[in-house]
């Protein structure tokens, strides 16, 4: 039986671990903090292939969306995934680009359509129509959002119960163990070593911390995402909405998760966070404008996500050159693509089958 180590227990690591174990590998997951404790737990978690050109990258995201839907048959229920589609409208300067995007998506067979303000009100009655104005509204019925930590826990629980996978939290990998050019295991911060026939690095923005050999480091260009959470509010929002005022989605128990692209640029990796910071108050003010029914609510919590993005902004999935037995899976679109990529990675590592869908996204492009 092939012994594999998966580094990281976010959505990617959990998906890869489950599919590796299902394929017959003996899997140990090593997680530095807790399940979903990294970027997965601080994500807007919108599942989509909405604006992800070129076509091969779009197709990977569509495959992820379909894989999420297919889990309902495998697990009986998927309480971690929430459908309902998404709504979008743009300010005047961006509407031509939006129309061109919709035309491209429709040409690719993606579910995208225009709906009326009345239809918006039927879908989301708490949205103030005045915030839409005369803007055309696009609806993407197959999109949704994910509870990433719930999802990661479900995948790892299934891997443990059904296949004996070991999940060890508080185990920060600090180096690879090499025999010649072959990776034969890893060493964690307390000095403990774990042997493996294959190591799969799913540590996201911490990918390079798993090896001291700079020649094996992947060039990364992480960006910051700023999220604000309300307390439970009187609003029936049931899907992702991206508007000229605020981006929002439900976050369970009546709470809303808020995001605004322009605000991301005003914070940094080391910004001191507080629910009372001006940036958080501004996002909640915008949410009150979109949905007046929430009343005079104030921010309850804020988080910063450091997005794990390879230097050219596309996923890096595959073996690292100069070595054998070392594979990485890092992508900014992990929330959407993880159920598909988990199966694809297992096909390649255990099944020995090269997945053509990953051909444009190999890490080797950074090492030539």
Task: Supply the pLDDT for residue 49.
Answer: 98
pLDDT surpassing 90 at residue 112: yes
Both 247 and 109 in one domain: the answer is yes
Is residue 60 located within the same domain as residue 153? yes
Task: For residue 161, tell me if it sits in a domain.
Answer: yes
Over 90: is that where the pLDDT of 125 sits?
Answer: yes
Mean pLDDT of the chain: 97
9 and 50 share one domain: yes
Q: Which two tokens stand for residue 359?
A: 């051909």
Same-domain status, 235 and 298? yes
Are 132 and 243 within one domain?
yes
**Token pair recorded at residue 220:** 């990364």
Binning pLDDT at 50, 70 and 90, where does residue 284 land?
A: very high
**Number of domains the chain is built from:** 2
Instruction: Please check whether residue 284 lies inside any domain of the structure.
Output: yes
Residue 76 maps to a domain: no
Asked whether residue 71 is assigned to any structural domain, the reply reads no
Q: Single out the residue of 2, 39, 47 nearest to residue 24, CA to CA.
A: 2
Predicted local distance difference test score (pLDDT) of residue 269: 87
Q: Are residues 233 and 301 in the same domain?
A: yes
Tokens representing 278 are: 């001006």
Asked if 11 and 42 sit in the same domain, the reply is yes
Q: What is the arithmetic mean of pLDDT over 181-191?
A: 98
Does 32 reside within a domain?
yes
- The CATH number linked to 240 is 3.30.9.10
**Domain end (from 285, 307, 329):** 307
Examine the domain organization and report whether 107 and 232 are in the same domain. yes
Assign residue 320 the CATH number of its domain: 3.50.50.60
Q: What is the pLDDT of residue 278?
A: 97
Cβ atoms of 197 and 3 within 8 Å: the answer is yes
Q: Calculate mean pLDDT across residues 246-269.
A: 95
| Same domain, residue pair 152 and 300 | no
Q: How far is CA 223 from CA 11, 145, 310, in A?
A: 18, 21, 10
- Residue 243's domain comprises 86-141+223-307
- Tracing tokens 């950074």 back to the chain, one arrives at 366
- Same domain? For 231 and 287 the reply is yes
Q: In this prediction, what percent of the chain has a pLDDT beyond 90?
A: 99
Residue 237 belongs to a domain: yes
Backbone angles phi, psi at 210, to 5 degrees: -85, -5
- Compute the half-sphere exposure of residue 236: CA atoms within 13 Å on the CB side of its CA: 9
Has residue 368 got a pLDDT over 90? Answer: no
Residue 107 lies in a domain: yes
For residue 355, the number of C-alpha atoms closer than 13 Å in the C-beta half-sphere is 22
pLDDT 10s digits, 229-254: 999 999 999 999 999 999 999 999 99
Q: Is the Cβ–Cβ distance between 80 and 146 less than 8 Å?
A: yes
Same domain, yes or no: 237 and 338: no
Same domain, 57 and 156: yes
């Amino acid at each position: 039986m092939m012994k594999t180590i998966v580094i990281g227990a976010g959505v990617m690591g959990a998906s890869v671990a489950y599919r590796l174990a299902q394929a017959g590998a003996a899997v140990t997951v090593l997680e530095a903090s807790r399940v979903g404790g990294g970027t997965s737990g601080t994500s807007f978690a919108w599942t989509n292939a909405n604006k992800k050109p070129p076509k091969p990258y779009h197709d990977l995201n569509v495959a992820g969306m379909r894989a999420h839907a297919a889990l309902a048959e495998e697990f009986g229920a998927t309480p971690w995934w929430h459908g309902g589609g998404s709504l979008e409208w743009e300010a005047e300067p961006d509407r031509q680009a939006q129309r061109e995007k919709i035309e491209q998506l429709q040409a690719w067979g993606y579910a995208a359509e225009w709906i009326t303000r009345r239809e918006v009100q039927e879908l989301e009655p708490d949205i103030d129509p005045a915030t839409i104005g005369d803007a055309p509204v696009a609806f993407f019925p197959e999109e949704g959002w994910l509870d990433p930590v719930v999802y990661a826990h479900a995948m790892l629980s299934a891997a443990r119960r059904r296949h004996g996978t070991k999940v060890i939290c508080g185990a920060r990998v600090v180096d690879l163990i090499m025999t010649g050019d072959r990776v034969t295991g890893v060493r964690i911060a307390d000095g403990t070593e774990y042997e493996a026939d294959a190591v799969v690095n799913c540590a996201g923005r911490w990918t390079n911390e798993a090896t001291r050999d700079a020649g094996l480091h992947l060039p990364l260009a992480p960006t910051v995402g700023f999220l604000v959470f309300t307390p439970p509010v009187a609003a029936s929002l049931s899907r992702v909405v991206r508007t000229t005022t605020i981006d929002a989605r439900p976050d369970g128990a009546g709470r809303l998760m808020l995001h605004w692209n322009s605000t991301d640029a005003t914070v940094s990796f080391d910004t001191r966070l507080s629910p009372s910071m001006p940036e958080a108050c501004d996002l909640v003010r915008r949410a009150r404008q979109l949905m007046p029914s929430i009343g005079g609510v104030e921010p309850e919590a804020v988080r910063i996500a450091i997005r794990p993005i390879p230097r050219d902004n596309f996923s890096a999935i595959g073996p690292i050159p100069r070595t054998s037995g070392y594979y990485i899976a890092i992508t900014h679109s992990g929330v959407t693509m993880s159920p598909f990529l988990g199966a694809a990675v297992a096909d390649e590592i255990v099944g020995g089958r090269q997945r053509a869908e990953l051909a444009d996204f190999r890490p080797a492009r950074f090492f030539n």
